[in-house]
Amino acid sequence: MKFLTSKSQFPDVSEASEEGLLAVGGDLSPERLLSAYQRGIFPWFEKDEAILWWSPDPRFVLLPNKLKISKSMKQVLRNKKMSVTVNKDFNGVITACSRMSRKGQEGTWITAEMIRAYVKLHELGYAKSVEVWKDENLIGGFYGVEINTRVFCGESMFSKESNASKMAFITFVETSDYELIDCQVYTEHLESLGAENIPRATFLEYLV
């Protein structure tokens, strides 16, 4: 594991620990974040911790042609009670994600510093949000980072009503041209939608 200074470069991802931890420290500048994502690395740490950089093997991803939509979810998509937009309220989405309580997690890893960093990436055109609305209220969505025309790295999602985050994710996958959606690490929620583990080496081929 490498300790980064503001000028340090990332080590090769093959140096990551068994859990996927690659480096500690550095900063969350747009240059650093883009350099990380382009190498298959992402930040994930809790408040008051040093910045932790990860590159797990295997990598949890969704290949769009393997997207699973249940019969009940198809009905939700058809009923038109909720609408989906892209990049209409990035700040609202990332803030809502930071406030969601999650099982097995005491606090949030989306700190004020992280919010500022990803808002900046959004302003530069790299970070995107997907919003779900009901009666003009933001009830779900997710955000992430576009690496290239092939890969979108999902970061976090939230849902204030049942199925709202699923609707955001499914609609985004079905209406975009990405070849792979990076989900980073396993969650049962995304597995139910078709996400699966693939070797890190295979994932890195999509970033070239």
Q: What is the pLDDT of residue 89?
A: 98
| Residue 107 banded pLDDT, cuts 50, 70, 90 | very low
Query: What residues pair up with 84 in beta bridges, in sequence order?
Result: 132
**How do strand 180-184 and strand 52-54 relate by DSSP bridges?**
unpaired
Rounded CA-CA distance 163/153 in Å is: 21
Per-residue pLDDT of 16-47, as tens digits, reads 999 999 999 999 999 999 999 999 999 999 88
Determine contact, residues 192/68, Cβ cutoff 8 Å: yes
Question: Using alpha carbons only, how large is the chain's radius of gyration in Å?
Answer: 17
Which positions ≥6 away from 149 have C-beta within 8 Å?
177, 178
**How do strand 42-43 and strand 151-159 relate by DSSP bridges?**
unpaired
Beta strands in 150-192 (DSSP E): 151-159, 180-184
Q: With pLDDT > 90 as the criterion, what percentage of the chain qualifies? A: 88
Q: What is the pLDDT of residue 100?
A: 82
Axis crossing angle, helix 112-123 with helix 90-99, rounded to the nearest 10: 160
Q: Which domains does the chain have, with CATH numbers?
A: 2-56 (3.30.70.3550), 60-205 (3.40.630.70)
| Residue 165 C-alpha from the chain's centroid | 13
